[in-house]
Amino acid sequence: MMADESILLLLEEVRGKTRRLLDSVSEADARWAPPGLQNTILWHAGHAYLLLEWLTMKALGRTPHLPEDWYELFSWDSHPASIPAAHWPTLAEVIVRLEEQHERMRQVFQRLSEQALSEPAADHPETSIRFAVVHALHDEACHCGEIHFLRKLKRIR
């Protein structure tokens, strides 16, 4: 069995970019949302974790490994502006989770053969497991753009 090198490379590139973008963000800046928007850098970082976990594990027919309350905080159904500040994890906590997940997902992807990646996703059999993984990592890359944009907005503010 051989792992798909493209999937592994995509994981390294996308998660690496997410981590580099978060390296110099202060806790205060991570929690800032510009007027008219509700998603913060902290939300985008947690959402990246949730996306990769949820889409990949559900496609594999496994239970996503989510910290308590993270679905409510970071999912596509969340409403960050209505969540009290004390309810959020720190950016440092989210970064630790992203790093742990990165290593765990690398191990998961290394065990997936070309054939396994081509199998129908358990939660959406009209698509493949490969599609779910690529979709999750593509979505995280889009959220990197949002993090980058929020950093720029904060600097010019």
32-64: pLDDT as tens digits:
999 988 999 999 999 999 999 999 999 999 999
Quote the DSSP letter at residue 121. Answer: P
C-beta neighbour count of 116 within 10 angstroms: 15
Q: For residue 59, what are the contacts with CB-CB under 8 A and spacing of at least 6?
A: 121, 122, 123, 124, 127, 129, 131, 132, 133
Look up the domain containing 136 and give its range: 5-156
pLDDT per residue as tens digits for the range 96-132: 999 999 999 999 999 999 999 999 999 999 999 999 9
Split into its structural domains, the chain has a count of 1
- pLDDT score of 155: 85
pLDDT in tens, 11-36: 999 999 999 999 999 999 999 999 98
| Residue 100 to residues 66, 94, 103, 106, 132, Cα–Cα distance (Å) | 12, 10, 5, 10, 20
Q: What are phi and psi of 89, to 5 degrees?
A: -70, 165
Q: How confident is the model at residue 156 (pLDDT cuts 50, 70, 90)?
A: confident
- Alpha-carbon gap, residue 33 to 150, rounded angstroms: 8
The span from the CA of 136 to the CA of 109, in Å, is 13
CATH label of the domain that carries residue 149:
1.20.120.450
